[in-house]
């Protein structure tokens, strides 16, 4: 029987700014977020600006308790890989986190689970924590293949990952049909998928690790629906796209993750 219990997992909210900010806008946005959420203690908050904005955002959030994340990385450290960014480059820019396997990378850039796995290993090797995104498409869900898709994504993306490293990996369950569409999963749909993800994690790493691993929900999370989603005990936070560009809405989502308040320290 596990000594760690559901409910002891600290909520985590990531803001994925995608390809939406240039430096000035990113600095302004980071300042607005700091004003609302700097020194939040009860929820972990990770801002993920585009690569060229990382250092500027780091300067704004350094010392505030807010953390910095990259949106992607390549698995090699250095070399002739035009256009790619590596784990050492992210850590040097102030990142503690990186998103790996986002559906836009999988579906637009053609990333496979095998590539996601190589990225995951590179990130962990360089002490980056990872938000590992998985999720089924609408067609897959309608075909009754959700569980099979999630299982394959988890098994292949987490290949050769030690159970001991799972405390540096957060799973982001992001149904593809909910990302940027305004069509949010219902709390029941999210609950069912998260419970299944936890079952697979239990098979891969054992029950104690599965219960300690945080699973975020992502897909059209807004200030209006966050409280209901974050109220689900199986949902350990959110990965937020569109609403992370609106400081008031993002702060509201973080507050919802914190059970209605952001405790400042």
Give the Cα separation of 26 and 57 in Å (integer). 7
Q: Which is nearer to ligand PEP, 163 or 223 (CB)?
A: 223
Residues that bind ligand PEP (CB under 6 A): 16, 174, 179-180, 218-221, 239-243
E strand or H helix that includes residue 171: strand 169-173
Determine which one of 44, 102, 111, 126 is catalytic. 102
CB of 80 to ligand PEP, least distance (A): 30
Give the Cα separation of 234 and 140 in Å (integer). 23
Tokens of residue 44, six digits: 């972990």
Q: Which residue is nearest to ligand PEP, using beta carbons?
A: 241
Q: Which is nearer to ligand PEP, 16 or 53 (CB)?
A: 16
Q: How many CB atoms lie within 10 A of CB 248?
A: 11
The widest CA-to-CA distance across the chain, in whole angstroms, is: 51
DSSP 8-class letter at 263: -
Determine which one of 174, 211, 234, 252 is catalytic. 174
CB of 84 to ligand PEP, least distance (A): 20
Q: Catalytic annotation on 107?
A: no
Tokens of residue 90, six digits: 């992210």
CB of 204 to ligand PEP, least distance (A): 23
Q: Catalytic annotation on 174?
A: yes
Q: Which is nearer to ligand PEP, 50 or 219 (CB)?
A: 219
Mention every residue, 6+ apart, whose C-beta is less than 8 A from residue 26. 17, 49, 50, 53, 56, 57
Q: Which is nearer to ligand PEP, 67 or 220 (CB)?
A: 220
CB of 242 to ligand PEP, least distance (A): 4
Tokens of residue 201, six digits: 């994690």
Would you tell me the crossing angle of helices 23-37 and 247-257 to the nearest 10 degrees? 40
Catalytic residues: 102, 174
């Amino acid at each position: 029987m596990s000594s760690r219990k559901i409910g002891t997992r600290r909520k985590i909210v990531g803001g994925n700014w995608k390809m939406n900010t240039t430096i000035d806008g990113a600095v302004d946005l980071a300042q607005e977020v700091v004003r609302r959420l700097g020194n939040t203690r009860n929820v972990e908050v990770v801002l993920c600006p585009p690569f060229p904005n990382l250092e500027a955002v780091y300067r704004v959030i350094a010392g505030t308790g807010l953390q910095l994340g990259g949106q992607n990385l390549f698995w090699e450290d250095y070399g002739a890989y035009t256009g790619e960014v590596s784990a050492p480059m992210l850590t040097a820019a102030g990142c503690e986190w990186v998103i790996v396997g986002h559906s836009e990378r999988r579906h637009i850039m053609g990333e496979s689970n095998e590539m996601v796995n190589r990225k995951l290993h590179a990130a962990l090797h360089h002490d980056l924590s990872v938000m590992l995104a998985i999720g089924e498409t609408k067609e897959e869900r309608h075909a009754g293949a959700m569980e099979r898709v999630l299982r394959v994504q988890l098994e292949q993306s987490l290949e050769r990952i030690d159970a001991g490293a799972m405390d540096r990996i957060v799973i982001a369950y992001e149904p593809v049909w909910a990302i940027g569409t305004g069509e949010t999963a219902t709390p029941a749909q999210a609950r069912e998928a998260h419970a299944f993800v936890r079952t697979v994690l239990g098979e891969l790493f054992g029950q104690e690790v599965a219960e300690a691993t945080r699973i975020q929900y992502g897909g059209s999370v807004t200030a209006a629906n966050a409280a209901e989603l974050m109220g689900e005990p199986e949902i350990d936070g959110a990965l937020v796209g569109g609403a992370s560009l609106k400081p008031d809405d993002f702060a509201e989502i973080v507050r919802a993750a914190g059970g209605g308040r952001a405790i400042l320290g």
